[in-house]
Each structure stands twice: as C-alpha cells, then as structure tokens.
Chain A
Amino acid sequence: MVRVGAFSAIRSVLSGRASMAHPLLNIGLMLVCPECAAMPSLPPPNPGLYDEMFDGATPRAHYAAYAQWLDGLSDEALSARQREADLLFRRHGVTFTLRDNPALDRQIPFDIVPRILPAHEWVQLERGLRQRLAALNAFLHDIYHDRDILRAGVIPPEQVLTNPQYQVAMHGLDLPNRVYAHVAGVDLARHSDGAFYVLEDNLCVPSGVSYMLESRKMMRRLFPELFARLDIAPVEHYASLLLSTLREASPVAQPTVVVLTPGRHNAAYFEHAFLARQMGVELVEGQDLFVQNDRVWMRTTAGPQAVDVIYRRIDDAFLDPLAFNPDSLLGVPGLLSVYRKGQVALCNAPGAGVADDKSIYPYVPDMIRFYLGQEPLLNNVQTWQLRKPDDLAYVLTRLPELVVKEVHGSGGYGMLIGPLASRAEIAEFRQRILAAPANYIAQPTLALSTCPSVVEAGLAPRHVDLRPFVLSGGDIRIVAGGLSRVAMQAGSLVVNSAQGGGAKDTWIVEGA
C-alpha cells in the first residue's frame, strides 16, 4: 500500500517535470493509463493538477492535522476502516440504481479520505452560491412575468421561450417568496488554477444529499477521534432546514408536506425515503394522491387527507398526465390545475429547469449583474454556444481539446470529452454536432482537482467535484459542505452517481 509519506515523496521527485499541455487542457493523462492504475507504486497526479490535500510534497494547511493523523495510521488499519465502511453501506442499503442495469441496486462507492475545505474558503463559496440562487430565482420569476431581461436584450428571447424546459403553464403565477428553485444542487469543480468554477446549476430534482448525510454518519462512526480533534462544521440539520424551506413554499400556516417519489425502482428511491423519514413526512407515489374539489388529497388509513406542499422528486413531464405527458403513470391527474389555483405548492416549481439548461448557463453572470447589480462571485466556465456560427467554426477545429455537451443532457450522458476520446469517437460526434449545432455547447476541459482516495493498491489521487445544496424559501439556507463526488476510475473525469461515481465526506474545517 502506498502511504501518504511515500506518495508525497514520489510527488516531490517528479514535481520538476514540466507540464506539457496548456493548463486548461491538462487533465492528467498519466492517470488514464490502465497499467499505471494497476501498479503497486502509483504515479502522482500530473503536477499541473491541483490536489486538494497536497501542495507539492507538503500537506496544505487545512489538511495538516488530518495528514499527520493519517501518517500515524497503519496500512492495515486504513484498509480495515475502508472495508468496514463498505460493509456498513451495504448493510444500510445505501444505493443508487445504475442506468444500464436498473434491476440491480448498486451500492455507492464510499471513500473514507475526506475532502477538506478551510472555513474561509467555504465562506466565499457560500456567498457566491447565495448570490447565484438569488439571481436564478429572480430570473425565473421574471421570465414567467414581465420578461424584463429579455426586453433589455440581455438574453435572446428565443433561447428562453422556445426552450423545452420553459412551461407556459407557469405564466403569471405568483409563488410565495418568488421562489421557483427551492432546492438546488450546484456542481462546482476546482480547476488547476486553484479556483472553483460552476459546472451546472441543478434546479429540477437534484439528488445526492442523502449521500452527504450518510457519508457524514459513516465518518463519525469510523473516525470519532478526528471529529473530537478538528472543528468540523455539522451538516446533520439539513432535513430540518429542508422542511422549513418546503413549509415556506405554502401560504398555509401549518402545511402538510409530502415527498413524491416515482417509486422504489427509481435510481434515487433510497434518498426519497431517507428524506421523508428524516423530515417525518409521508413518502407518496402518484397513486397515493388524487385531486378533488380543487385540492390534492392523499389516501390514508383514516380516509383522505389534504396535502399542501409536494416535494416532488419526479420530472415536470410526469407530474400530471392531463397537463404534460399523457402516458405518465407516475403523476397525479389534475395536479397542475390545483397548483395554478394556488391550493398546493410544488417544489421545485414546474419550469424551473429552464434556468439550469446548458444553453442558459452562459448568461448566469449577466443575470447576476441585471437583477442584483453585483459582480458574480463564482466563476462560470467559458462556454461556446454552437448555435453561433463563429463559436461553431472555432469549436470544430478544437474538438480534441474541448468538452462538448448536449444542452438538455444530464447525468454525464451525451457528452464528448475531447482529450479522452478516440479519433473515431470525435469524428462521430462531429457529425452529431453538425446535424443540430444548437443542441450543443462546448467548454474547455476542466482539470478537476484531485483528492487522495483509497484504491486497491493503497492511496491514489482521484478527481473530485463538489455539490453543495442550496435551499431557497423565506431565506436562503445552506449547510456547510456538500457532496464530494469522486471518479473511482483512475483518470476518469465522470463523477456522476448514475455512471458509477463515488462519494466522499466533505469537511468544512474552522481554524485551518
């Protein structure tokens, strides 16, 4: 097993090696080599990459106490703890169903090396997240009301109005606190320049918060000594913040809240049940609800009971077969008409997805300036919109360097990672782009930062991102931290749970 000490020694030997590629394109190709991954002595990450724990050979200040503790832990102890974690997760049934094998509940790979951020850095991120969500909600209110931002020419109207996520049914509806995206999971990644960039604002039904909470529970159980020694910000009150946020979505004084799930065969069912349980509210399926006399009711053992707030974990298209997809068996017929009369709240609001669409993403900094009169605190990734002929022409010459994404895709599907793609794959993707350029955007390949993780052969750097969860109601509420997703394959940049990514606990540490 490669110990941290040895790991940093290798790093220091190699750190003189010059990075061959431009920093923006540097994705650590050394890590892609499968043979390397199998070798007992693992290579360090490409020196051009930012490592969360190490700056060269030395642990960063906020990792110093942890690294010291880790050095005192034997190889056997570390792998024993990892095995214990795997066993506990299996016993708890913490799962996420994979797309290509829906019959199989897959356990989320969990890594016991935490991703640590110093509190002063988190404070900056949190300010940026609050600002971003304030602007995104203001944008959603605007486009379903007066459309000031379109009339001002900041965003081309057709980008919004012809967007498939745009819901005409939302026109003129006044929502409490003008909040549309009550729960957002904003994906952030740290680039090799050390700065965080927003990858995506997930405003529809973002998942993963249960893994954040289960990861913390696991870490507390496995490493109580670390929690005693370090000042780690708690996250366990998330469910109570969520419940407060959901209640504020209703004008009723003591609203009845439910979680609406597509059912136990949905990939994120574990999370739906987890959150319902943590909030002490009912977990309902579409069949458990019905509409009568302009109210939504759930079928209970004591007869029908009125429902005021639905934290829905199903997509817009399946909410109401009368309003959207008529084939949907997951939704509740007539739900939208009750919603439009203000007799039930839906979280998140239908039509919120238009603001997290990849074609709208490039305009978020402009939204912040337009609605808040502030400069954005969080970085957007430079984005070429292939609907623009100039951008298209440029991107087509740079495909091997860039990441190209479908504007309406999610879960890491429908994307080309140029530096990792074969020539044939690039050629094939080029044809897809040319067939419908407006469906794609392109971005530089971000060099996602790495964090040491437990692998078969010991510790090795793996790419990570960060998904904090932002709750918007009367106030904006954020627990300090989020879900750090980790690409478990050497060199892989895909951290999505749906494609086999794993989770790490995220520690916001004071006094570091």
Chain B
Amino acid sequence: MLARTAANLYWMSRYLERAENLARVLEVNQGLAWLKAARPGEDMAAPLRLTDSEAAFAAQHGAELTPAALWAFLGFSAHPASIRSCLARARDNADAARDALTGEMWQAIHATWLGMQAAIDAPPADPANFADWVKERSQLFRGITYGAIHRNDAYRFIRLGTFIERADNTARLLKLRYRGHRAGMADHYGLMALLESVSAQDAYLAVYHDTVSAPKVAELLLLNPDAPRSLAACFAEIRQILPQIGGPRGRAAKKRATELAAALEYGELQDILAHGLQNYLGEFLDQLTQLNDELHAAYMEAA
C-alpha cells in the first residue's frame, strides 16, 4: 500500500485511541475530585502531566484545578492534546486515506467529528456522558474495522496504531500514578483510579481475588497478557501484526518488537521492581519511541 496512506491510517488510529484514553483518564480524575478536599496532595493534575500541558493549562485557567476547567481544556479546547484535537486529527488522517477505508469506517469517524463539533458548540452539562460517548465512538470504530475491512495492510496499520498508542498510554499512566508500596486509603483510591483508567478493575479482582496492592497492579498492567491494556497484551498483538505486513522492509522494527514482546512475555515482576519501576517504564517508553521511528522509516516515509 501507499506509504503515505499507511502513515495516515496509523496516525488516525493512534489519535482515536488517544482520545479514548484521555476520556477515560478525565472521567476517572473527576471521580477522584472529592478526594482532593480530604487530601490536598492527591494528584488532580495527572491528566495535564500525562499530556504534558501543565504550563498551557496554567496560562489559560490559572492555578485553580477544577474538574470543569480540566474538561474545558482537555476536552473541548483547541489545545493540541485535547480530545477535540485528537478527534480532528483522526478525522483529517482518515480523510487523507479515505480511499483505503470502507464507507462504514469513514462514516463512523466522520460522524464522530460532526458530534465533536456539536459538543464544541454546546458543551454537554455532564462531562461523564461525553466521556462515555468518546469511548463508544472509538469502540464503534474498532468494531467496524474488525468486522468490515479486508485483512490487508490497511487493517494492519490501523491495528498497529491502536496497540502502540495503547501501550504508550498504559506505560505513561503507570509511570504517573504508581507510587510504590504505600498503605492507606489514598493509595487504595489512587490505584483504583489507575485500574479504572485502563478498565482493569474487574480484571484485577478476577485475577487476584484480593485488595489492591501496588505490585499486583504493576504486574497486571505490565505482564498479564489477558488484561487488554497491559503492555504484554499490546506487544503480543504488535508482534503478530508486523510480520504480516507485505514486503521485505522493517527488519529493525520487527526485531525490536519481538524482543520487547519476549521481554514482557517472560519477564518477572521482581526483576522489574529491583531495577526500579520508574527506570523500567522510562526505558520502555524510549524503546517505544524508537519502534515508532523505525516503523516510520521502514513503511511510512519516502521510498
């Protein structure tokens, strides 16, 4: 397939996944707002740190962090990291690769953008409904993609974008919210928020039948291949997808993806904790950036 089209599909998919993840994070954050009164130290700024937009937020809204201001800024404003901007870029990339999408896929993503424009004109009174809507639209698109498109390279670049973005998001969230071993209520709620942000609270209970503890949360989100947003699950998919892409290219990316997948599949939590989780995640994110660059160089840039 056309290199440019591959890039459009990959980034369409990444931006859509990013919008969905941000909606989850904002929703969970709002749920944590009540904790802020009880515990001023609670990290309300997580969504801003996650999107590297603390300074831009302060310039626009001042120091006061309220759920409403966070929603306005990261939901509906034209800030490049907002849900709105993600959906606009997803739509623009889809438009540029419109010939590679089925009619249903295009309509799903175009209708999402139309809905976003309506939400900009009249921001919804209940942001939680909006968050649900964003998640639904992203899930709808994934479902249509899974159910409608021929299993060709277009499908593979779309899926690749989804899992790379998802791994990136899980790693960043874990890095941000994980505070090591601490006891007490705040720790409990912080960890629950983390699990909810990646829809893993049910998985946690199903796997551990236990109260939340930091190492177990880390193990679930890093190494458990059955938790759909864990790094292990994302890389199991990425490792599968890459060799299916037609043509002789991408050896460096395939090698790196296979190594990362193997490290996650056979890795031990105690080794990761001994190395330091922050160090581990920092290195993982670097590896992910390099993988992204290798994918670009091999498939999506000038031949």
Contact = CB atoms under 8 A, between A and B. Distances in A.
Interface of A: 90-93, 259, 263-264, 269-270, 272-274, 276-277, 282-285, 287-288, 290, 297-304
Contact of B1 (A264, A282, A297): A282
A90 B2 contact: no
Given A264-B95, A273-B99, A276-B99, A301 B107 contact: no
B98 A282 contact: no
B2 A299 contact: yes
Contacts of A303: 247-249, 303
Contacts of B6: 301
A150 to B, nearest CB: 42
B111 A91 contact: yes
A274 B248 CA distance: 30
A359 to B, nearest CB: 37
Contacts of A282: 1-2, 5, 99
Given A282-B1, A282-B99, A288-B2, A301 B246 contact: yes
A287 B110 contact: no
Nearest to B4: A288
B1 A301 contact: yes
B245 interface: yes
A166 to B, nearest CB: 33
Nearest to B106: A93
B248 A264 contact: no
A91 B114 contact: yes
Interface string B20-46: 000000000000000000000000000
Contacts of A90: 114
Question: What is the interface of chain A mostly: helix, strand, loop, or mixed?
Answer: mixed
25 contacts: A91-B107, A92-B103, A92-B106, A92-B107, A93-B110, A264-B95, A264-B96, A273-B98, A273-B99, A276-B99, A277-B100, A282-B99, A283-B2, A283-B98, A285-B4, A290-B303, A299-B3, A299-B4, A300-B247, A300-B303, A301-B246, A301-B247, A301-B249, A301-B299, A303-B248
The 6 A-B residue pairs whose C-beta atoms are closest, nearest first, are: A302-B247, A299-B303, A273-B98, A276-B99, A283-B99, A301-B299
A301 B248 contact: no
Nearest to A299: B303
B302 A299 contact: yes
B83 interface: no
B98 A301 contact: no
Nearest to A280: B99
Contacts of B5: 282-283
B153 interface: yes
A295 to B, nearest CB: 13
Contacts of B106: 92-93
A288 B300 CA distance: 11
Contacts of B100: 277, 283
Given A92-B107, A92-B110, A277-B100, 20 more contacts: A91-B107, A93-B106, A93-B110, A259-B99, A263-B96, A264-B92, A264-B98, A272-B99, A274-B99, A277-B99, A283-B99, A299-B2, A300-B303, A301-B2, A301-B6, A301-B153, A301-B245, A301-B299, A303-B303, A304-B303
